Chains A and B, each alone.
Chain A
Amino acid sequence: MDALLAAFATVFDPYVLLIICLSSAYGLFVGAMPGLTATMATALLVPITFFMPPVPALAAIVTATAMAIFAGDIPGCLLRIPGTPASAAYVDEAYALTRKGKAEQALGAGVVFSAIGGIFGTIVLVTAAPALAEIALQFSSFEYFWLVCLGLTCAVFITTESPLKGIITLFIGLFVATIGLDNPAGQPRFTFGSADLLSGVDVIPAMIGLFAIAEVLRVVAAAEVRLPSAAEVKGSIFRGQWELAKKYRVQVLRGSASGTLIGALPGAGADIAAWIAYAMSKRFSKEPQKFGTGHIEGIVESGAANNAAVSGAWIPALVFGIPGDSITAIVIGVLYLKGLNPGPTIFINNPESIYAVFILFFLSNIIMLPFGWLAIKSAKQILRVPRNILMPLILMFCIVGAFAMNNSLYGVTVMLVFGLLGFFLEENGFPIAPVILGMILGPMLEQNFITSLIKSDGDMLAFFERPIAAGLGIVTLLVWATPIVLALLRRRRRMSPA
C-alpha cells in the first residue's frame, strides 16, 4: 500500500504531468501523420528519456504510444489515409461514415473506445500479467502459423462486394511480401540486382500509396468529388457514445479481450489485433450487410482492440523481457537503462515503479478523451480547406512521410507504384485493404511455416501435435471449410428442386 501511495506521488508530480501533456501532443501529431508510426515516436523519444528519471521517461513513452495509435484513426477517417497500419483495417468504414456526414461520431467512437480498450488492457496487465505471460511464452511457430492463417481469413470477411476479388488482392500482398532478402532462407528474391529491392517493400510507403496517393489521383485528376465539406460534419464527438457502449457492450468486451490477448503474444501486435477484431465483429454481427457502408459497429470493436493490444504488449515485456511488439522492444532497453530489469521479480523488486507504470497507463488512456477531443476539433478544420489546395498538400505530406519511413527516396518510389496499383484496383472493384493484410502477414506466414517444418524434420502432423496448435488448427480449418460446405449444400438444393 505504501508502494502504491509512493507511486501516486511520483506520477502526480508537476514535472511528470508536464511530460505527459507534451508527449500527448507529440504522440497525437506523429500518429496523425501518415508515414510516422508509433514505433518511430518511441524511438525518437529514447535519447531524450536518457536524461530523465525512470517514471517521467516511461510516462513519455506510455502516453505517446497510446495517443499515436488512436491518432492514426484521424486522417483515416477524414481523408481515408490511415495514419498507422493499425487503423488500416477499418479505414474504409470510417471514411464511409465521414461521407455520410458522421465524421464526429466515427472519431468520437475512435477516441472513446480506444480509451476503453486501453483501460481494459491495463486492468489485465495489472491483474494477470504473470499468468498471461506464461501462456504467451508457450506459443511456438506451430501456434503462430495457425494464428496467421486465421488472420488471413480476415481478407474474406472484410471484403464487402466480391470475396474472390478480396482473395486475389490478398495474394498480391502476399507476393509483394516475398520480395527482398528478409526471408528464412536469407536469399534475395525478385530483387533483379537492386540494392533497394533487397530490403523488400515496406508496408508504410505501400499503404500511403494505396490509400492516399490513389485518393489524390482520383480527386486531382479525375475531378471526383469525394470529401464532404466541413458544414456537413456536425454534432459533438461524445454525443451518443454512451448509447453505443450500451448497444455494443459485447463487441467492446470482445474487442478489448482479443486485443489484449493478441497484443500479449510476442509475434503479433496492434495492427493484427485490429484486423481480427474487425473481421470478428462482422462475422458475429446481427447486421453484417451494413459493414463497409458506414456502420459504426466494427470501428467500436477494432478501435478498442488496437489500443488494448498496446497495453497487452507490455505483459511479456515486463514479465520476461520478451517484446510484444516493436514498441516494447524499445521499452525493454529503456527499462534496463533505468535499472528496472524486466523479469518476474520486477513486481517484487520495484513495486513503486511498476505501480507508477500502471497508473501511467490508466492516466494516459483517460486524458486521451480531452486530448483526443482537441485533436479531432482541430483536425476537422482540414475539411474546410478547399479541395484544390488540400490535395496537393496531401501529396507533399505523403512524399515526406514515405521518405521518412526509411529516410530513402526508394520509399517515395514504392509509394508512387502502389498509388497507381491502388487507383487501378479501386476502379475495377478490387478491395485494397487485403493487400496490406497480405504484406503484414506474409513474412510471418512464411517464417512460421518454414521454421516449423525445419523443427519437425518435415513432418506435417507436427502442426497438430501441440495442444494449442491443434486447437487453433482445427478452428482455422473449420472456418475455411464452412463456406465451401455451405456453397455445396446450396448447389445441391438448387440441383434437386424438390
Chain B
Amino acid sequence: MKVSDLVTGLVLLAAAIAIFAYAQTFPAIPGQPYGAGAFPTVVAVGLGAFSILLAWRGYEARRRDGGQQKLIALADWTRTPGTGANFLLSLVLVLVYVLLSDRIGFIPLSIGILLVLFWRTGVRPVTGVAVAVIMTLVMQVAFADLLRVPLPRGILDRVLW
C-alpha cells in the first residue's frame, strides 16, 4: 500500500496530538514537579513537529506533479487474487497460533500452518508433508528439549516425553 507523505504526516500528527493529550493525565512523581508525563510529552511534540514537516513535503510534491499521485494507492499484488490472499493468510495463521496454541499445542499447529502455506505456494504434497513434520519435530527438540523453551504442549500433553 503506497500512501502519500501528506496522508502519513497528517495521521502521525493526529497520533502525536492524542499522545500529547493522554500524557497530560499521567501523575507526577510524588514530591517532584514532573513525572510519567514528561517524556511522552517531549516525544509527542517531536513527532508532531516532524510530521508537519513530512505532510508539508508531501503537499509540495503533490502540487509539483499536479496531484497525479494518488493519496492512497494499493500495490499491484493486492489486485492479483492469489498473492493478496496469501498476504492475509499469513497474518491470519499467526493470529490462529496466538489464539489456539495453548489448547492445541505447538506440534499440531506448526504442522498445520506449514502445510497450509506450502499448499498455497505450490510445494509438492509429498515434500510439503515431509518438511512440515520433520522441521516441526526439529524445532520441538531444539527449543523445548535442549533450550527448555516451554512450547505449548496442548493436546499432546500426556503423549509427549
Whether both chains belong to one complex is answered with yes
Q: Is the Cβ of A409 less than 8 Å from the Cβ of B98?
A: yes
Of the four ranges (under 10, 10 to 19, 20 to 34, 35 or more), the interface on chain B belongs to 35 or more
Interface string of B127-149 (1 = CB under 8 A from A): 11001000110010011000111
Chain B, 44-76, CB within 8 A of any chain A CB: 44, 46-47, 50-51, 53-54, 57, 75
Chain A residues near B98 (CB-CB < 8 A): 409, 412-413, 416
Interface string of A376-419 (1 = CB under 8 A from B): 00000000001011011101110110011001010011011001
Q: Is B156 an interface residue (CB 8 A)?
A: no
Partner of B40, one of A178, A213, A389, A392: A178
Of the four ranges (under 10, 10 to 19, 20 to 34, 35 or more), the interface on chain A belongs to 35 or more
Which of A362-370, A445-453, A470-478 participates in binding chain B? A445-453
Q: Is the Cβ of B36 less than 8 Å from the Cβ of A164?
A: no
Q: Is B35 an interface residue (CB 8 A)?
A: yes
Partner of A221, one of B54, B77, B106, B150: B77
- Report the separation of the CA atoms of residues A156 and B8 in the bound assembly, to the nearest whole angstrom: 19
Chain A residues near B35 (CB-CB < 8 A): 185, 187
Chain B, 80-102, CB within 8 A of any chain A CB: 80, 83-84, 86-88, 90-91, 93-95, 97-98, 101-102
Count how many pairs of residues, one from A and one from B, have CB atoms less than 8 Å apart in the complex: 164
Which of A125-133, A169-177, A227-235, A272-280 participates in binding chain B? A169-177
- Report the separation of the CA atoms of residues A386 and B136 in the bound assembly, to the nearest whole angstrom: 18
Chain B residues near A165 (CB-CB < 8 A): 54
Chain B residues near A450 (CB-CB < 8 A): 29, 34, 38-39
- Report the separation of the CA atoms of residues A391 and B106 in the bound assembly, to the nearest whole angstrom: 18
Q: Is A420 an interface residue (CB 8 A)?
A: yes
Q: Is the Cβ of A164 less than 8 Å from the Cβ of B54?
A: yes
Q: Is B21 an interface residue (CB 8 A)?
A: no
Q: Is B159 an interface residue (CB 8 A)?
A: no
Partner of B36, one of A189, A217, A400: A189
Q: Is A289 an interface residue (CB 8 A)?
A: no
Q: Is the Cβ of A404 less than 8 Å from the Cβ of B32?
A: no
Partner of B1, one of A29, A36, A393, A424: A424
Q: Is the Cβ of B53 less than 8 Å from the Cβ of A164?
A: yes
Q: Is A167 an interface residue (CB 8 A)?
A: yes
Partner of A171, one of B8, B43, B110, B117: B43
Interface string of A122-157 (1 = CB under 8 A from B): 000000000000000000000000000000000000
Name the residue on A nearest B57 (C-beta): A164
Closest chain B CB from A443 CB (angstroms): 9
Q: Is the Cβ of A403 less than 8 Å from the Cβ of B29?
A: no
Q: Is the Cβ of A389 less than 8 Å from the Cβ of B83?
A: no
Partner of B148, one of A44, A167, A220: A44
Q: Is the Cβ of A222 less than 8 Å from the Cβ of B113?
A: no
Chain B residues near A404 (CB-CB < 8 A): 143, 147, 149
Name the residue on B nearest A29 (C-beta): B142
- Report the separation of the CA atoms of residues A354 and B2 in the bound assembly, to the nearest whole angstrom: 58
Name the residue on A nearest B114 (C-beta): A392
Chain A residues near B147 (CB-CB < 8 A): 30, 36, 44, 404
Interface string of B3-15 (1 = CB under 8 A from A): 1010010001000
Interface residues in chain A, defined as those with a beta carbon under 8 Å from any beta carbon in chain B: 29-30, 36, 44, 164-165, 167-168, 171-172, 174-175, 178, 183-185, 187, 189-190, 213, 216-217, 220-224, 386, 388-389, 391-393, 395-397, 399-400, 403-404, 407, 409, 412-413, 415-416, 419-420, 424, 427-428, 442, 445-446, 449-450, 453-454, 458
